[in-house]
């Protein structure tokens, strides 16, 4: 059993793999070397996310040559990076779980630094990529995500995009209890974290092949990220509605007042064009508010359907284990 601030005895490394035959062997060799060096008990879990190349054979061979230390989990088809990591999480036995990418963008040699940072009492250890090797679009997109994530989780991290991260086992267990289908692990973890920190790590270019994320997939991911964190976009409609209805209302007061005060009719009060605008604004606004209110309920349904655990008890002091519940 881990203790809250205690030492870590058993490390689990989880890596999602999708068509990575070009660099997989190197990844296995480097990760095992790093884990051997760190002097802890460990397991290295690779999850094949429906690869169509020889990744599975490479993983199988590695698992057979070091049973119980290297584990290959083979999914029947492609479910996406984060679902693959979740599948790996369901198998972990360690008290610290480290995730990294298979493409060697995250150097496995950093594992020792992550363990050291977690041993200082952190539940989640994030990483900040030094000399980040990514496009401008990705950097801007991640700025937006970091901002929203900070608002929703209350944890201020400056780099959510790097998957080289460490999570205490209890945070992983909490994530496994979340039922939502689309999720983004680094942000989800922070909703259950007490102490977090970020450490600088090296970041390399992809070792071989292309990123598995096309521009469209990336845009989808950003939308997923925003909607998995917050239902605030639903409220935007209500705000617009209130603004439109308010404008319509003020405009109609203005037109009526002008008509009463002025003797001569002018362009505002004659012909009814502006009156029509005022009425239109008002009713469009009311409709938007209506949609916004429906959205608000949908947001609640969404939150309930995800059925995330409401809280986690870390420890109960003063109760004998197995004591009978008198109410039962």
In angstroms, the CA 252 to CA 279 distance is 7
Query: Is residue 49 near Mg ion by the rule CB under 5 A?
Result: no
Q: Which residues pair with 10 in a beta bridge?
A: 41
Q: How many H-runs (helices) and E-runs (strands) does the chain carry?
A: 10, 7
CB of 234 to ligand UDP, least distance (A): 28
DSSP 292-319: HHHHHHHHHHHHHHHT--S-------S-
- Exactly one of 12, 19, 51, 105 binds Mg ion (CB under 5 A); that residue is 105
Q: Which does 49 bind (CB under 5 to 8 A by kind): Mg ion, ligand UDP, none?
A: ligand UDP
Per-residue binder mask for ligand UDP (CB under 6 A), 299-328, x = binder: ------------------------------
In angstroms, the CA 143 to CA 151 distance is 13
CB of 38 to Mg ion, least distance (A): 23
Number of residues that bind Mg ion (CB under 5 A): 3
With respect to ligand UDP, which residue has the nearer C-beta, 55 or 190?
55
Q: Which does 31 bind (CB under 5 to 8 A by kind): Mg ion, ligand UDP, none?
A: none
With respect to ligand UDP, which residue has the nearer C-beta, 8 or 63?
63
Query: Is residue 186 near ligand UDP by the rule CB under 6 A?
Result: no
CB of 145 to ligand UDP, least distance (A): 13
- Exactly one of 54, 78, 146, 252 binds ligand UDP (CB under 6 A); that residue is 78
In angstroms, the CA 48 to CA 74 distance is 5
Q: What is the 8-class DSSP label of residue 182?
A: S
With respect to ligand UDP, which residue has the nearer C-beta, 114 or 278?
114
Query: Is residue 20 near ligand UDP by the rule CB under 6 A?
Result: yes
Chain contacts with ligand UDP (rule: CB under 6 A): 16-18, 20, 49, 78, 80-81, 84, 101-103, 105, 206, 211-213
């Amino acid at each position: 059993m881990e203790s809250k601030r205690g030492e870590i005895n058993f490390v689990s490394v989880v890596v999602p793999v999708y068509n990575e035959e070009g660099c997989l062997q190197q990844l296995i060799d480097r990760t095992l070397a790093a884990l051997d060096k760190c002097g802890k008990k460990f397991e290295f879990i690779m999850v094949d996310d429906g690869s169509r190349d020889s990744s599975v054979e490479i993983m199988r061979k590695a698992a057979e040559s070091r049973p119980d230390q290297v584990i290959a989990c083979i999914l029947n088809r492609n479910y996406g990076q984060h679902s693959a990591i979740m599948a790996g999480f369901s198998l972990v036995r360690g008290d610290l779980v480290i995730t990294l990418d298979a493409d060697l963008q995250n150097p496995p040699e950093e594992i020792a630094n992550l363990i050291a940072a977690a041993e200082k009492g952190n539940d989640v250890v994030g990483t900040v990529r030094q000399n980040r090797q990514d496009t401008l679009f990705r950097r801007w997109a991640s700025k937006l995500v970091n901002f929203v994530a900070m608002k929703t989780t209350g944890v201020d991290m400056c780099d959510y995009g790097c998957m080289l991260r460490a999570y205490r086992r209890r945070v992983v267990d909490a994530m496994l209890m979340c039922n939502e289908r689309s999720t983004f692990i680094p942000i989800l973890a922070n909703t259950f974290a007490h102490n977090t920190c970020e450490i600088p790590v090296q970041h390399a270019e992809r070792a071989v092949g292309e990123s598995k994320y096309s521009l469209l997939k990336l845009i989808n991911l950003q939308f997923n990220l925003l909607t998995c964190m917050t239902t605030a976009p639903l409220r935007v409609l209500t705000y617009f509605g209130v603004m439109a209805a308010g404008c319509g209302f003020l405009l109609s007061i203005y037109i009526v007042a002008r008509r009463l005060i002025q003797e001569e009719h002018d362009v505002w009060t004659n012909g009814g064009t502006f009156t029509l605008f005022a009425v239109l604004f008002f009713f469009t606004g009311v409709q938007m508010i209506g949609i916004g209110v429906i959205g608000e309920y949908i947001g609640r349904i969404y939150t309930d359907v995800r059925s995330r655990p409401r809280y986690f008890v870390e420890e109960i002091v003063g109760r004998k284990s197995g004591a009978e519940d008198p109410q039962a």
